[in-house]
Amino acid sequence: MNTDALVIGAGTAGLIAATRLAQGGLRVLVVATGEGCLPLASGTVDVLGYAPGPVKSPLGALPGLLDAHPEHPYRLTGAAGLEQSVAWFLQVAAPLGYEGELTRNRWVPTVLGGLRPTALVPRGMAAADLGGGGEVLIAGIRGFRDFHPALVAENLCQATAAPAAAIQARAIELDWPGSAGDLVPFRLARRLEDAGIRRSLATQLRPKIGSAAAVGMPAVLGRETAADIHADLERRLGVPVFEIPGLPPSLPGLRLFDCLRRALRDAGGRLLLGSSAIAATHHQDTLDSVTITQASRPVEVSAGFFVLATGGFVTGGIVREPDGRLREPVFGLPVHGLAPGQQPFGDEYLSEHPLDRVGLSTDANGRPLGAAGAPHAVNLYAAGAVLAGALPWREKSGEGLSLATGWHAAEAILGCRREDVA
Amino acid sequence: MTEALECQLLVIGGGSTGAGVAWDAALRGFQVILADRGDLATGTTGRFHGLLHSGGRYVVRDPGGARECARENVILRRVASAAIEDTGGLFVTTPLDDLEYADRFFASCPAAEVPVEEISPAEALRREPRLTPAVRRAFVVQDGSIDSWKLVWSCAQGAKQLGARILPYHPVTAIVREGDRVIGARLHDLRSGGDVEVRAQCVINAAGAWSGQVARMAGCEVAVRPGKGVMVAINHRLADCVVNRCHMTGDGDIVVPSHSVSVIGTTDTPVEDPDDIEPTAEEVAKMMTAGDVLLPGFSRSRALRVWTGARPLLPKTATVGDDREVSRSHTVIRHAQRDDLGGLISIAGGKLTTYRLMAEDTVDAACAELGVERTCTTAETPLPGSTGRNYYRLPDHQADFEKGRADNPMVCECELVSRSDLLAAARRNPQVQIDDLRRVLRIGMGPCQGGFCAFRTAAILHGQKEYGRSQANAGLRAFVQERWKGQRPVLWGQQLRQAQLDAWIFQGVLDIEHMPT
Ligand SMILES: Cc1cc2nc3c(=O)[nH]c(=O)nc-3n(C[C@H](O)[C@H](O)[C@H](O)COP(=O)(O)OP(=O)(O)OC[C@H]3O[C@@H](n4cnc5c(N)ncnc54)[C@H](O)[C@@H]3O)c2cc1C
Ligand SMILES: Cc1cc2nc3c(=O)[nH]c(=O)nc-3n(C[C@H](O)[C@H](O)[C@H](O)COP(=O)(O)OP(=O)(O)OC[C@H]3O[C@@H](n4cnc5c(N)ncnc54)[C@H](O)[C@@H]3O)c2cc1C
């Protein structure tokens, strides 16, 4: 097999890089073992939420972050690249109505009733910013194990994370019409396509709204037709409705995954799921081909450019052996971030653990470094959670990092191509 | 504010020994108070290996101890069946083990009353296909898997039904003396913050590895030498029966099936402080490699969690003045005879398998102390919930769960716990914490280590009257911290992936760190 660019990994970073490359005119193939973190994630694009104190403006806090952590992946894009990648993303994700600014974090509720900082939210969470306080009604579904409105509401009333005014939150539990079997997110989402169910929920809800400015619900409001379901509920209730994302699997994340996949296809890129990269062939300082598994058989794919977007430990982009050795399994790249003899974990769970920052180091173009400290290959780039230097869940920077660095890798490749042509 | 209580026997320590003493004494008609510094069975008893010994492990080295185990094994199957899974056990001779030891083992069983049957290596492999194919000899014994939490609770429940008072979260802070007699103890109620003064005719120190500390409060010595042992749980059952190496005992040579997991253990390292027993990476690595000898590929399986326990070992010299027969693997000390201090009895050493016998000997000593004669009946009286036939069976749990399935959401997928199980447990103990539910329902013990169920549990408890939102928030934080200690040493491969997914859940999706208190 032969292609212009081979992207390994179909998480946010891989899909973003691939779509951008395909839009830039390259023939692109994405191979991925699985779907990555997006279908598990909240669907918000967190750029920078804590550094380590609460961050009002991700752009404003960026210089301080890079001063404190010069190895942080955001150094690759800087503020300008970050802004461009976000502007580009807002276009690609337009079907889901993503909105937000890099100069102001929004504070959106969690299923525990806390507030968490994020930069970009889909249309379904546009009304979720409670950073300025306000009155909301939290509506749960009786018997749904992953959403407990009383807890959300009680905690929201005490929220301290938001800088501004107090929140008044009330809770209501709705009866799901004709309930049968386990109420799980996907089943609820599918059943909500039925207008009768929406009518029943709205009928229960309407009399309770009172002076609430918005209604918060578990993030189960449909998959493909989420926009219609959301609009219909808002029309029936007469107030904005927002989703509160919870435990995996997560519909807002899955919708973004669907959307990015479609954008890739529309741009002419191809995606092979269930296919893993297992080995590579080099010619001097250039990577020639990567061996992938297809239907359990090895197939060699040659390409001009390669993007490694295999994620962190969660998706197997980095592996830790029982003896503590760290490994990048596809190319055997050195994994950085832990000094020899350094303890990988601290005593307090909710503290910073050195292991959480490990990953690949790169040059300024995003090319991962080999054992000798120079780029492993001139045409290999790395992006996303596989990179060293960040503490994504503590900083609240997960999707933002993968977006920015995925976009950056594609730009670097497109830049090379332009140079070659010129 | 100090509350005053009175009883005949005050038992300090709610492990298997103390709970067994409380049950035995209550059956003999004594008024009993049982106090522990934490929840019941949170000392060594809740941190042990899970093996109901057949005696096989001791037949060559300590035939007396083996006989004790064998006899108690038969009795416990009768009176504590609900806490036991009748897995059976195998002793196998691997290529690393001396064939001559196998002969001695087999020859020593009858004298120690340990039932044994030799089977062919092929038959052993048929029963346990993951066993090393290089097995040279195999012996079937009556080992079982025993749930110490269930055991302790049924002892406590039985005692309570007979009028005993159970006081968890009540550390003993002082032993009260009047001249050369102990007349009671002072307890601190951790939950109310108050103190409780208990007057007792006899105080029983059943504090296991901590019994030295308790004895010191009375001004005397119990020379326990805490021995640290490490155990590792693997994410599923690699064998359905207990698998032992047939050799002169070593580290990591027993794998016990326990509910949905397999547990390998153990080691024995002397330590100063029974509360300072962190497992090390080296110990874990040693367990994982040791497992390969019995079950090849063991070291590549997914380790969920590590824990350690402190053995309450008594060196022989400590038994001076002891009035019991020396062949016992435990020691009852009547301080009246040894230290001229009346009203205090200490019990130390032993095993979980022999808890009943230890309790019998202890209460016999208490009878002597109080000058009464009352016969022990624990060998004939089933514990609440046990009928002598109703062994725990893993598939029954699944069947029970399926019965109540409709409209009863599953809270914990790993261990099959439903919302109604949770609410029932919360009703039984209104002050319940998420971590207590771990011991009662096994919440958070499976592969996800609480990633999914901890939040659900906290939220469902919050729906209960006595569980406010700050308790839910604090409970979650305490739970993840408690889990972290046991996970840290096994974070590699698949379990590290799981831990990082959990990190995204706890710190990304739920952001428990920034929750208001
Ligand atoms: C439960 C959960 C909640 C989250 N919540 C948020 C949130 O609220 N906000 C936020 O900003 N972020 C959140 N995140 C984080 C965010 O989803 C990730 O940081 C981000 O999506 C990572 O993207 P990635 O493309 O770098 O890697 P991943 O999404 O991990 O994708 C890696 C890809 O590489 C593939 N792969 C790996 N090895 C190979 C191989 N050898 N061959 C082929 N393919 C391979 C994988 O199958 C996968 O497709 C959450 C994550 C999780 C798990
Ligand atoms: C690693 C290991 C593995 C083992 N495996 C097995 C096995 O597989 N099979 C078997 O039969 N035996 C096994 N044993 C032995 C067995 O677990 C113990 O012998 C038994 O559990 C001891 O019970 P106990 O009640 O005496 O002590 P504990 O369970 O330790 O009880 C003592 C109690 O005293 C309490 N306490 C301490 N100080 C105070 C105070 N000041 N005030 C109030 N309370 C206090 C503690 O909280 C504790 O709950 C194992 C032991 C270890 C260490």
Amino acid at position B42, single letter: T
The single-letter DSSP state of residue B323 is: -
Closest CA to A331 of A365, A293, A378, A281: A281
Please give the distance, rounded to the nearest whole angstrom, from the Cα atom of residue B314 to the centre of ligand 2: 13
Please name the member of A150, A248, A324 whose beta carbon is closest to the beta carbon of B463.
A150
Q: Given this model, what pLDDT does residue B321 score?
A: 40
Alpha-carbon gap, residue B150 to B83, rounded angstroms: 6
State how far the Cα of A184 lies from the Cα of B452, in Å rounded to an integer: 13
pLDDT above 70 covers a percentage of chain A that reads: 98
For residue A37, the one-letter residue type is C
Dihedral sign (CA B151, B156, B159, B160): negative
Pick from A40-49, A153-162, A330-339, B387-396: least confident: A153-162
Q: Which atom of ligand 2 is nearest to the CA of B347?
A: 26
CA atoms within 13 A on the CB side of A261: 18
* Helix residue ranges per DSSP H, B130-252: 148-161, 211-217
Q: Which single residue is written with the structure tokens 């979260």?
A: B169
A422 to chain B, any CB pair closer than 8 A? The answer is no
Which 3 state secondary structure label does DSSP give B308?
strand
Residue B364 has which token pair?
């016999």
Give CA–CA dist B433/B417, Å, rounded: 16
CB atoms within 10 A of CB B481: 14
Half-sphere exposure of A74 (CA within 13 A, CB side): 29
Per the listing, tokens 């973004």 go with A256
CA torsion B157-B161-B164-B169 (nearest 10°) is: 30
Residue B493 contacts residue A322 (beta carbons within 8 Å): yes
Nearest to A20 by CA among A79, A99, A85: A85
Q: Which residues in chain B touch residue A111, judged by CB atoms under 8 angstroms apart? A: 455, 509-510
In percent, the amount of chain A with pLDDT more than 90 equals: 92
Q: Is the peptide bond before A249 cis (omega within 30 degrees of 0)?
A: yes
Considering every ligand atom shown, identify the ligand nearest to the alpha carbon of residue B287 and give its number: 2
The 3-class secondary structure across B366-409, one letter per residue, is HHHHHCCCCCCCCCCCCCCCCCCCCCCCHHHHHHHHHHCCCCCC
Cross-strand pairs, A107: A117
- Give the C-alpha distances (Å, rounded to integers) separating B128 from A71, B122, B245: 51, 10, 14
Asked whether the beta carbons of residue A348 and residue B481 sit closer than 8 angstroms, the reply is yes
Q: What is the pLDDT of residue B401?
A: 77
Give me the interface pTM, i.e. the ipTM: 0.97
* Measured distance CA(B18)–CA(A213) in Å, rounded: 58
- Element containing residue B301 per DSSP (H, E): none
Identify the DSSP state of B251: T
Structural tokens at position B275: 């509360």
* A35 part of contact set with chain B, CB < 8 Å: no
Average pLDDT over residues A245-259: 97
Interface check for A343 against chain B (CB to CB < 8 A): the answer is: no
CB B143 within 8 A of CB B91: no
Is the CB of residue A34 less than 8 Å away from at least one CB of chain B? Answer: no
Catalogue the E-assigned strands of B206-270.
Answer: 225-234, 242-245, 254-258, 261-265, 269-270
From 3.30.70.520, 3.30.2350.10, 2.40.110.10, 3.50.50.60, which CATH number describes the A2-95+254-271+306-421 domain?
3.50.50.60
Give the integer Cα–Cα distance in Å for A31 and B119: 52
Which pLDDT does position B325 carry in this prediction? Answer: 36
- By the 8 A CB rule, do B156 and B40 touch? yes
Alpha-carbon distance B506 to B452, whole Å? 9
Domains of chain B from N-terminus onward: 83-144+225-309 (3.30.9.10), 394-514 (no CATH)
Task: Give the span between the Cα atoms of A123 and A126, in whole angstroms.
Answer: 5
pLDDT for position B395: 83
Helix axis angle for A74-92 and A12-23, nearest 10°, is 70
Task: Please indicate if any CB of chain B lies within 8 Å of the CB of A314.
Answer: yes
Nearest ligand to residue B225 Cα: 2
Examine the pLDDT at A162 and tell me if it is beyond 70: no
Q: Do B285 and A322 touch (CB under 8 A)?
A: yes
Q: What DSSP string describes B452-507?
A: THHHHHHHHHHTSTT--HHHHHHHHHHHHHHHHHHHGGG-SHHHHHHHHHHHIIII
Judged by phi (left if over 0) then psi (alpha if -120 to 50, else beta), residue A276 lies in beta
Distance (Å) from CA B230 to ligand 2 centroid? 14
Whole-number Å distance between alpha carbons of A154 and A28: 49
With tokens 């716990």, the residue in question is: B417
Interface size A-B, in CB pairs within 8 Å, comes to 137
Q: What is the pLDDT of residues A274-304, one digit of tens each?
A: 999 999 999 989 999 999 998 889 999 999 9
Q: List the one residue out of B199, B164, B153 whose CA is nearest residue B45.
A: B153
Look up the CATH number of domain A111-244. Answer: 3.40.50
Burial of B76 by CB count in 10 Å (0-12 exposed, 13-18 middle, 19+ buried)? buried
Of the pLDDT bands very low, low, confident and very high (cuts 50, 70, 90), residue A169 is very high
Q: pTM for this one? A: 0.89
Map chain A to HEC letters: CEEEEEEECCCHHHHHHHHHHHHCCCCEEEEECCCCCHHHCCCCECCCCECCCECCCHHHHHHHHHHHCCCCCHHHHHHHHHHHHHHHHHHHCHHHCCEECCCCCEEEECCCCCEEEECEECHHHHHHCCCCCEEEEEEEECCCCCCCHHHHHHHHHCCCCCCCCCEEEEEEEECCCCCCCCCCHHHHHHHCCCHHHHHHHHHHHHHHHCCCCEEEEECCCCCCCHHHHHHHHHHHHCCCEEEECCCCCCHHHHHHHHHHHHHHHHCCCEEEECCCEEEEEEECCEEEEEEEEECCEEEEEEEEEEEECCCCHHHCCCEECCCCCEECCCCCCCCECCCCCCCCCCCCCCCCCHHHHCEECECCCCCEECCCCCECCCCEEECHHHECCCCHHHHCCHHHHHHHHHHHHHHHHHHHHHHHHC
Which stretches in chain B have pLDDT values below 70? Answer: 1, 316-328, 404-407
Which ligand has an atom closest to residue A290 CA? Answer: 1
The dihedral region occupied by A332, where left means phi > 0, alpha psi between -120 and 50, and beta the remainder, is left
Structure tokens at B124: 């052993």
Please state, in angstroms and as integers, the Cα–Cα distance from residue B414 to each residue in A405, B194, B261, B391, following that order: 36, 39, 11, 22
Query: Residue range A141-168: average pLDDT?
Result: 87
pLDDT attached to residue B327: 46
Domain limits of chain A? 2-95+254-271+306-421, 111-244
Mapping DSSP onto H, E and C, the string for B58-78 reads HCCCCHHHHHHHHHHHHHHHH
Contact A195, A231 (CB under 8 A): no
AA letter at B450: G
Ligand 2 neighbours, Cβ below 6 Å, are: B 12-18, 35-38, 42-45, 48-51, 53, 171-172, 206-210, 214, 229, 231, 265-266, 309-312, 350-353
In DSSP terms, A375 is beta-bridged to: A369
Assign B278 to helix, strand or coil.
Answer: coil
- Bridge partners of residue B308, in order along the sequence: B230
Q: Which residue of B has its CA nearest to A154?
A: B469
Q: For residue B409, give the amino acid letter.
A: P
Give burial (CB, 10 Å; 0-12/13-18/19+) of B494.
middle
User: Which pLDDT belongs to residue B86?
Assistant: 97
Contacts of B497 in chain A (CB under 8 A): 313-316
What's residue B516's pLDDT? 87
- The values of phi and psi at residue A314, to 5°, are -55, -40
Contact B427, B421 (CB under 8 A): no
The pLDDT of residue A378 is above 90: yes
The continuous run of DSSP H or E covering B81 comes out as none
Q: In the beta sheet, which residues pair with residue A135? A: A168
In chain B, residues 356-415 whose CB comes closer than 8 Å to chain A:
406-407, 409-411
Angle at A361 between CA A414 and CA A87, to 5 degrees: 40
Sort out which chain A residues have CB atoms less than 8 A from B419's CB and list them.
Answer: 145
DSSP letter at B248 equals S
- Counting ligand 2 atoms within 8 A of each CB, the residue from B37, B40, B48 with the most, and so the one to mutate, is B48
Contact B60, B119 (CB under 8 A): no
**Closest residue in chain A to residue B303, using alpha carbons only:** A322
Q: Average model confidence (pLDDT) for chain A?
A: 95
